[in-house]
Structure 1
Amino acid sequence: MRYFNFLFFFLVLCLGVANAQVEQESNVVKDTTIVLTKKENPTKKKGDDFPIEDYKIISYARDTTTFDTTLTIYKEYKYNYLRKDDFELLPFANVGQTYNILGAATKEKSFYPRMGEEAKHNNYMEVSDIDYYRVPTPTTELFYKTVMEQGQILDALITLNTSPQLNMSIAYKGMRSLGKYQHILSSTGNFRFTTNYQTKSGRYLLRGHYTSQDILNEENGGLGVPEQFTSGDDEFTDRSRIDVRFEDAENFLLGKRYFLDHEFFLFKEKDSLRNYGLSVGHQLNYETKTYEFRQTTANSYFGESYQASNLEDRAKLKTFNNQLNLNYNNKIIGQATFLVNYYKYNYYFNSLVVNDSATITNQLRDNEISIGGKFKKQIGGFSLGGDFTQNIVGDLGGTTFNAEMNYQITDDIDVDASLHASSRMPNFNFLLYQSDYKDYNWQNTDTFEKQKLSTIQGTLNSKKWGSLSVAYTVRDKYAYFEENLDTGDSISSVLDDVQRVTPTQFDGSINSIKVKLSNDLHFLRKWGLANTIMYQNVSQSEDIINVPQIVTRNTLYYSNHLFKKALYLQVGVTAKYFSEYYMNSYSPVLGELLIQNREKIGGYPMMDFFINAKVRRTRIYLKAEHFNSPFGDNNYYTAPNYPYRDFIVRFGVVWNFFT
């Protein structure tokens, strides 16, 4: 509630400073999608318009885009809880639960080990997910969408420039969904505050943000009697009547982050005076995370426990990154950066565990230092870039190397090529974990080694025909959680099963290839066919990296302007399909996906029918999700013993205001 009060206060503040805002850029409207009327001010005549290009969104990598109020098929793909294309993910039954994996990863997510609990991080916004803004007038974006039962998703953003040099933004995404099954409520919140500033001379630049994020999920362990779901019995079309394993557990992730990035130019590149620029930069990132698993009564599904009631596992991680960099740019050599990074971590629990006469420590704590560099250069039609980081003090970090090249062949066609290589220790919860369940306690700091990942990738892009990418990946010393399931004697009930989990590191190499084709073809003027097809092949001696061989998504849609172009309508059908494979299982205790090789899942289509419309700057979305589910067998799962979503109709809007 305090975040909503803060948001209300900030909205009032925005109204007070709106008339004081000044913008001195071009007034020519180049995009007719948005027409904005600016009130009278000292630098603009009454009735002048701001072009949409003035409303800038700046990513962490400093790539600049603009607020886009168009309605395209790609906007349809991104209109979901994560607000990004989830083609390579498969959501669980309730909004806000985890996702299963349909596509193999080709890059490492971070230089140092992450906390773990990866199944809880799909909606967790990392540093690279935070955007910054520069706008001539106060700008607001509202995202709303219904959920499965009793709740909604709301993502509200407002940003303004108090002057051409200073911008602030505040945003909050809140979600609550009760879900169709018993004890599966989801409740999440993502609060963000950002600011960016530059002096009038442009010699000093600053940006920073604060985030506070919480992700709460009630956990029921999946179906207690799977036959109730698969039989199609009318009694259980109301999913709340289906028995689940337990109704007294939940897991929770809380994270807070303070981020600051600033740069001072000792010399700025000026064509008439000098042909180089030199700056020093500093980046600071302090983040705390807490993960908890709570259960009222111990359940035999997780094996024996140290106590019979009030179980509570709690892991905490505090990290501090402090980076200094020196940046040099020259028309001949391009842009070059040298950096030194200091990393401090503290991963800990609140107790010591003695298990089978062995003591499991409660803390991993140390300091790490790394050095590295970045490079970027434009040579004719070639754009080159790369970065390198090497850990020199400490045991967790390793090496990261990235190289990228882009070549513009014609105005329509360009080629991308990239190379990624990295090595680091597995996530913290592989190295150390403590739980009230006896089988979920381990310490592997002396036995686990650094895992390595290397990928070479090429992409051919065409504005007319789409894109084709090919990636080849090699993994060494891959760490994963293996599910060891002791099944009960009953065929129709799984309440006697015991799920044990073992952190494992594969002593060998795993090779995989991923080929992905995406296009949007138009015919008969108003008809379109959007296709995304992915082929994957994994070479391995054991079933560890388990992904479907084929994943497809095809959308046939019709779009047209109506009512003298006052309304833009988009109607279509999307079909998604993936081949059978050993889909990952799920651990509520760890908040992780687990490797299993006993049950193949897949081979069923998921069909959605949608009607989207755009009225001025408002996009309206109406979708009948998985509308084919009542016409086939109940064999659609998103993980072993976790059903996929049933047919449901959902509604939502995205609305932009430019004051």
Structure 2
Amino acid sequence: MKHIFFVYILVFFCLAVQGQDQQAPGREREKDSTQRPLKQKPGASKEKDTVTVSIRDYKIISYQRDTTYLDTSLTIRKEYKYNYLRRDDFELLPFSNLGQTYNALARNFRTTGLYPELGARSKHYNYMEVEDISYYSVPTPTTDLFFKTTMEQGQLLDAFITMNTSRRFNLSIAYKGLRSLGKYQHILSSTGNFRMTANYTTPDGKYRMRTHLVSQDILNQENGGISNREEFETGEPEFTDRARMAVYFQNAENLLVGKRYFLDHEYFLVRPGQAFSKLSFGHEFRYETKFYKYVQDDAVESYFGSAYQLSDIEDRSRLKTMYNRLSLNYGDRIFGDLKFKASLYNYNYYFKTILYTQNGTIGNQLKGNEIAIGGEWAKRIGRVNFNADLEVNTVGNLTGNIFNGGISYNINDDVQLSGFISSVARMPNFNFLLYMSQYQNYNWQNDDFGTEKVYTLGGTLKSKKWGSVTASYATIDNYTYFYESADAESQPNMILSRPAQYGSSVNYLKIKGENEFRFGKFALHNTIMYQNVGQDDLVMNTPEFITRNTLYYSNHVFKKAMYLQTGITLKYFTEYYADGYNPLIGEFYTQTREKIGGYPLLDFFINARVRQTRIYLKAEHFNSSFTGYNYYAAPNYPYRDFIVRFGLVWNFFR
């Protein structure tokens, strides 16, 4: 993977040098870009053959075939997305090193997946799923270069280039690479995400295809967290050099590796625009392999209990899946868009050994074939949009079904109201059902676990002028989670996580509001969330309130050659029993030993935009030294100290 990265960087810079002779226009914050003519062919008529393009011609197409365009503006939402994940992390709490995991401050139970996943969910925040891959259509070769400094001895780079060989065929290639040593002992992060996409449409428009290849590896050195918390909480100058602090162990790492091949193509018997209706056949194919590995060299640690061998631990779980879906798609002005679909899902989750215990044998494999049928519907009536998606597993051991329905209504040009309803019943992830480890406590086979059922109802009221409010209410039956079985008094320094299904219902209410007030060149952007969990036992814990408030100033400077944005962001969440982190299985577990939270996080930033380049400078958590050393991301895992980081996002065009 690393060799692919270096080869791509070489190609990337060759194209970059070639592509800087002309620049496509950017888009100012207040208005769209102006248009520009493309280069003419020799001998072409200037009046007839000059083609004019704008930034809106640089199209980005999602998995759901929603189309947006390349945006080179500088807004406060761009500031929120300028991070390792490249998306707003308001509902997440990062660990100390870049590329580590995140603790969840909120839950989202809406899903389109009918089948269980590998597990090791702490490793998947940066793992790009099918829905995260975009496709492109651009009039000229286009490059996006993302760079940001890390915590110590490393860099973060996400390089991307796309081009159309013709109006009908597009190629893109991208690689996001990270290496960060971190401030604490044995906490290095090294990750890579390689993506390659293509999409094609025939000249007559009857056949269209899109495909991608993704290869990803996410490696983290693990230390179990700090073992002497007084060294951190007293704030003694000797230990502000975090590398001096004692940690539980320094000989372990975990790794997630995944490769995926994806193809989605469709053939139209009747094309849109040719007749009153449209009719097509579709086929979607996915083949994906994953493995999660935990390695511990030298002597084993009592941190995870007893082990079957005294040194050189290596646990590895593997998952291979193949998915084929056929669909018949029909649409007209009366019934809307209808899709009838049937899918075949093949899975093989396995380990390479069989464990014999006093209680019986723990198998090493879950394997089978699943068949599901379903349909989709979408229709627009006046200002109202309807959509629904239903899928039921009819054959196989992974019983389940999923239904998602939505409606949106444009009250006027400014206000939009939308609502959704969701019902999901599916088996828990495979690592809840079967797991094998050389640590004795981490072996189980739960044949009695049933489907986890989630019923969700919610809606959003959105206004460009006043902001938005989103509310949702979910009921979860058979909630599946990891709990801590170690005794707090006799085993205070041990992590013995086990899976469980909760026998009662869990009710979860989430209300999130967002708005912005402007005062000339100043603005105050606010995001606030309220959460309430109804449960008989503390099995799912979230903070009651989360708030993020940004006061910032923005203006054009240097005769409008630069657009400047600077301000301060406050993030705060109330105390709660945050989930603990278990690096052995790559999961978070429910704990009730201690609460974290109740501390402010203050960031100061200066951002600037020059043409298509956005420059970012941030002093992160600058209040860390004077508001008390009580900031944790999870028990025994401190949050980040004060650090200054910078970087840029550069778009350029041929």
Normalized against structure 1, the TM-score is what? Answer: 0.95
Q: Deviations over 1:311-369 (max 9, x none)?
A: 00000000000000000001111100000000000000010111224111010100000
Residue of 268, 271, 291 corresponding to 1:268: 271
Distance 1:15 1:235 in 2: 47
Write the letter of the residue equivalent to 2:612: R
SS of structure 2 residue aligned to 1:499? coil
Between 396-405 and 63-72, the greater mean CA deviation after superposition:
396-405
Distance 2:203 2:256 in 1: 41
Write the letter of the residue equivalent to 1:365: K
- In the alignment, structure 1 residue 448 sits paired with structure 2 residue 449: yes
- The aligned counterpart of 1:498 is 494
Write the letter of the residue equivalent to 1:517: G
Judging changes above 3 Å, is the alpha-carbon distance between structure 1 residues 588 and 34 closer, same or farther for their aligned structure 2 residues?
farther
Distance 1:569 1:102 in 2: 31
Q: Tell me if the contact between 1:342 and 1:367 (Cα under 8 Å) persists in the aligned partners.
A: yes
Residue of 71, 94, 98 corresponding to 2:74: 71
- The aligned counterpart of 2:504 is 508
CA RMSD of aligned residues (A): 1.9
- The aligned counterpart of 1:23 is none
Distance 1:210 1:116 in 2: 22
Q: Tell me if the contact between 2:599 and 2:631 (Cα under 8 Å) persists in the aligned partners.
A: yes
Distance 1:565 1:408 in 2: 36
Judging changes above 3 Å, is the alpha-carbon distance between structure 1 residues 36 and 289 closer, same or farther for their aligned structure 2 residues?
farther
Q: Tell me if the contact between 1:34 and 1:617 (Cα under 8 Å) persists in the aligned partners.
A: no
Between 161-170 and 391-400, the greater mean CA deviation after superposition:
391-400
Gaps of 5+ in 1: 20-29
- In the alignment, structure 1 residue 54 sits paired with structure 2 residue 57: yes
Matched positions, count:
641
- The aligned counterpart of 1:517 is 513
Identity %: 55
CA apart distance, 1:516: 0.4
CA apart distance, 1:497: 1.4
CA apart distance, 1:224: 1.2
Write the letter of the residue equivalent to 2:539: I
CA apart distance, 1:35: 5.9
- In the alignment, structure 1 residue 95 sits paired with structure 2 residue 98: yes
Distance 1:544 1:109 in 2: 24
Between 103-112 and 474-483, the greater mean CA deviation after superposition:
103-112
> What is the 5 A alignment of 1:304-315?
304-315=306-317
- In the alignment, structure 1 residue 384 sits paired with structure 2 residue 386: yes
> What is the 5 A alignment of 1:210-221?
210-221=213-224
Residue of 353, 361, 364 corresponding to 1:362: 364
Q: Tell me if the contact between 1:249 and 1:294 (Cα under 8 Å) persists in the aligned partners.
A: yes
Write the letter of the residue equivalent to 2:147: Y
- In the alignment, structure 1 residue 582 sits paired with structure 2 residue 577: yes
Residue of 553, 562, 571 corresponding to 2:566: 571
SS of structure 2 residue aligned to 1:542? coil
Q: Tell me if the contact between 1:14 and 1:160 (Cα under 8 Å) persists in the aligned partners.
A: no
SS of structure 2 residue aligned to 1:630? coil
CA apart distance, 1:216: 0.1
Distance 2:429 2:32 in 1: 48
- The aligned counterpart of 1:26 is none
Q: Deviations over 1:423-472 (max 9, x none)?
A: 0110000000000100000000x210000001101110000010001101
- The aligned counterpart of 2:26 is none
- The aligned counterpart of 1:546 is 541
Distance 2:33 2:209 in 1: 32
SS of structure 1 residue aligned to 2:485? strand
Write the letter of the residue equivalent to 2:421: L
Judging changes above 3 Å, is the alpha-carbon distance between structure 1 residues 17 and 656 closer, same or farther for their aligned structure 2 residues?
closer
- The aligned counterpart of 1:81 is 84
Residue of 113, 121, 125 corresponding to 1:122: 125
CA apart distance, 1:389: 0.2
- The aligned counterpart of 1:282 is 283
- The aligned counterpart of 1:437 is 439
- The aligned counterpart of 1:157 is 160
Judging changes above 3 Å, is the alpha-carbon distance between structure 1 residues 17 and 366 closer, same or farther for their aligned structure 2 residues?
farther
Write the letter of the residue equivalent to 2:486: L
Distance 1:186 1:170 in 2: 23
Judging changes above 3 Å, is the alpha-carbon distance between structure 1 residues 35 and 144 closer, same or farther for their aligned structure 2 residues?
farther
Distance 2:280 2:598 in 1: 55
Q: Tell me if the contact between 1:36 and 1:658 (Cα under 8 Å) persists in the aligned partners.
A: no
Write the letter of the residue equivalent to 1:475: I
- The aligned counterpart of 2:242 is 239
CA apart distance, 1:274: 2.5
Q: Deviations over 1:22-47 (max 9, x none)?
A: xxxxxxxx964476563222678498
Distance 1:603 1:12 in 2: 46
SS of structure 1 residue aligned to 2:185? coil
Distance 2:16 2:485 in 1: 58
Residue of 583, 595, 598 corresponding to 2:593: 598
- In the alignment, structure 1 residue 371 sits paired with structure 2 residue 367: no
Distance 2:45 2:150 in 1: 44
Distance 2:337 2:413 in 1: 26
SS of structure 1 residue aligned to 2:184? coil
Distance 1:238 1:402 in 2: 50
> What is the 5 A alignment of 1:38-53?
38-41=38-41, 45=46, 49-53=52-56
- The aligned counterpart of 1:484 is 485
SS of structure 2 residue aligned to 1:314? strand
Q: Tell me if the contact between 2:368 and 2:397 (Cα under 8 Å) persists in the aligned partners.
A: no
- The aligned counterpart of 1:323 is 325
Distance 1:317 1:365 in 2: 10
Q: Tell me if the contact between 1:108 and 1:453 (Cα under 8 Å) persists in the aligned partners.
A: no
Write the letter of the residue equivalent to 1:471: S
Write the letter of the residue equivalent to 2:326: L
Distance 1:171 1:397 in 2: 37
Write the letter of the residue equivalent to 2:88: D
CA apart distance, 1:15: 8.1
Q: Tell me if the contact between 2:33 and 2:54 (Cα under 8 Å) persists in the aligned partners.
A: no
- The aligned counterpart of 1:107 is 110
Q: Tell me if the contact between 1:34 and 1:69 (Cα under 8 Å) persists in the aligned partners.
A: no
